[in-house]
Amino acid sequence: METTLRGVGVSHGVAIGEVRHMGTAVLEPPAKQIPAEEAEREQGRARQAVEAVAADLIARGNLAGGEAQHVLEAQAMMAQDPELMADVDRRIAVGSTAERGVYDAFAAYRALLANAGEYLAGRVADLDDVRNRIVARLLGVPMPGVPDSDEPYVLIARDLAPADTALLDPALVLGFVTEEGGPTSHSAILARALGVPAVVALPGAGELAEGTVIAVDGSTGEIFVEPSAEKRAEMESAAAARKAALSASSGPGTTSDGHKVPLLANVGGPGDVPAAVEAGAEGVGLFRTEFLFLDDSKQAPSEEKQVAAYRAVLEAFPEGRVVVRVLDAGADKPLDFLTPADEPNPALGVRGLRSLLDHPDVLRTQLTALSKAAQGLPVHLEVMAPMVADRADAKAFADACREAGLQAKFGAMVEIPSAALRARSILREVEFLSLGTNDLAQYTFAADRQVGAVSRLQDPWQPALLDLVALSAEAARAEGKSCGVCGEAASDPLLACVLTGLGVTSLSMGAASIPYVRATLAKYTLAQCERAASAARAADSAEEARVAAQGVLSGE
């Protein structure tokens, strides 16, 4: 009998197939004591296992490339963390085996991460995967992972580690469903990069029996268990129609009556550029520069290194628009040389622009590097600050840009409700706004974006969030300036139409989502988008808003 479950759709597309579960194993080693004379040997075993796992993660990253490479390199750094390894050595010195020392040291570090802000709490799954890989190597047992299968299947897991997600074969893994995770977890980000339909935060997913046929809608988050022949035909027909529309869609983003909505790409560095170009991105709406800084938490990258990375991205979009976010560090992405280590609530503390204003030399070097990278290029460079709270923040950033001699537009990200409420005031100091809907939702609803239990409050369809988007867009229109969206909301084709109707002037997303959004926008007029936006804002819940907008656009 067909039943319907609902999680959070994080990667577009439809997958229909039999369930296969991620391999699992108990990887907690026994707690036994070793003689003191064996400690040095056990410490050597632990170091060898750590280095082998780090090398394997880096090799997987090199194979995967793009966003996955950044993620796996970060995992390799986790494995080799000097403080973590020092703790392993201490535990072995007082009698633990290598595997137990690793297990207990990682458990202690895990507890710290879980309470250290939304970004780091979201990396717990990554840390668990690193621990499992090291312990499995020390125990001499296979690492749990993607099941072996000659036939295509839908993968079910508690959560997916980046090392597994990065190398999924889309020819075999039709889609995946996880019990945990959120729209901005690594598994969700990599699923979108791979173009694999995915649903996360589905309670009870692990209870689906092996071999059960399910249909996964990665756009709506719906899971149909043992779908009827009619439901399968309906979903397959919709998927075929969507594929045909994608193939026929090309060129700039526009509504059916010619209203232009530039479709831009979110990138983390030069490795993400080829996919963006192939998808037809009209530029970059969010260049996350923190990946450069996270390579070494002890010191900022040199000006020369920054210039080379920025120029590689700028050169890929001649005559295009490239919006660079200056370093967004603190709380969720702490850096030893920049952010405080003892804040009681880092997510609400010194992060983003606040960190940079406390360290003007770091900001000045980055702005100078951007200026040098753009020299002689026809690109339209725009630079924006993260976590702007008010006009004073916006003015301080604009002043820093001018003092660095930067020839570019200066903008502010709207991620804090105060910035949306006072958007017109902020626009007296800067030339554009960019809405980071992930953090804006988090701060609006006091709902950590990595926690599946509060995923309904992270839903970008929440009417309160749409109200804040509308306020920002109205302020920009009144000031004759632009207001884009660069959060995950832009990657939802239906929501992209609503955002356009709210007055948003550009949409930036992962490269894989651009064809979907382009094809959907081209089906509707601006007036239809505006009516859908009004209907969504009049609703009382995210689901009601989605249904109301869909009803308007489908003519119901």
pLDDT of amino acid 80: 85
pLDDT band for position 368 (50/70/90)? Answer: very high
Give the mean model confidence (pLDDT) for residues 229-254: 83
Query: Which single residue is written with the structure tokens 């598994």?
Result: 187
pLDDT of 147 over the 80 cut? no
> What per-residue confidence (pLDDT) applies to 299?
82
Would you state the pLDDT for residue 149? 77
Percent of the chain with pLDDT over 70: 90
- CA torsion angle 279 281 284 289 (round to 10): 10
pLDDT value at 122 more than 60: no
Residue type, 317: F
CB atoms closer than 10 angstroms to residue 453: 12
Structure tokens at 335: 């850096």
The least confident of 196-210, 240-254, 298-312 is 240-254
Spatial distance between the Cα atoms of 456 and 465, rounded to a whole number of angstroms = 12
- pLDDT at position 137 is 84
Tokens of 96: 């633990």
What mean pLDDT is predicted for residues 144-160?
A: 82
Of the listed ranges 30-34, 40-44, 418-422, the least confidently predicted one is 30-34
State which amino acid sits at residue 21: H
Banded model confidence at residue 451, pLDDT cuts 50, 70, 90? low
| Cα–Cα distances in angstroms (integers) from residue 306 to residues 336, 374, 381, 415, 459, in the given order | 19, 12, 15, 25, 35
The three-class DSSP label of residue 520 is helix
Q: What angle do CA 263, 448, 65 make, to 5 degrees?
A: 50
Looking at per-residue pLDDT, the higher value among 266 and 2 belongs to 266
Name the strand (E) or helix (H) holding 216: strand 213-217
The pLDDT, as a whole number, for residue 119 is 47
Kindly indicate the confidence band of residue 292, based on its pLDDT and cuts at 50, 70 and 90.
Answer: confident
251: left (phi over 0), alpha (psi -120 to 50) or beta: left
Q: Is the pLDDT of residue 474 over 90?
A: yes
Report whether pLDDT(203) > 70.
yes
pLDDT at residue number 243: 73
pLDDT at 186: 66
User: Of these residues, 12, 359, 401, 486, which one is catalytic?
Assistant: 486
pLDDT at 289 over 50: yes
Q: What's residue 199's pLDDT?
A: 93
E strand spans, 227-364: 263-267, 283-288, 321-325
Residue-level pLDDT at 66: 65
Q: What confidence tier does 450 reach under pLDDT thresholds 50, 70, 90?
A: low
d(CA 52, CA 48): 6
pLDDT given for residue 118 in this prediction: 47
pLDDT at 332: 58
Question: d(Cα 206, Cα 186) in Å, to the nearest integer?
Answer: 20
Q: What is the pLDDT of residue 329?
A: 82
* CA distance linking residue 332 with residue 326, whole number of Å: 15
Q: What is the mean pLDDT of the chain?
A: 87
The tens digit of pLDDT for each residue in 71-110 reads 778 778 888 888 889 999 999 999 999 999 999 998 887 7
**Statement: residue 125 has pLDDT above 90:** no
Residue 180 pLDDT grade (very low, low, confident, very high; cuts 50, 70, 90): confident
Q: Strand 321-325 relative to strand 380-385: parallel, antiparallel, unpaired? A: parallel
| 186 has catalytic annotation | yes
Dihedral Cα 538, 540, 544, 548, nearest 10 deg: 0
Local confidence band at 167 (pLDDT 50, 70, 90 cut-offs) = low
CA distance 505 to 473: 8
Lowest mean pLDDT among 180-189, 228-237, 348-357: 180-189
Of 70, 186, 359, 529, which residue is the catalytic one?
Answer: 186
Greater confidence, 300 or 473? 473
Note the pTM of the prediction, 2 decimals.
0.70
Say yes or no to pLDDT of 412 above 90.
yes
- In this structure, the number of other CB atoms found within 10 A of the CB of residue 230 comes to 9
Strand partners, 260: 254
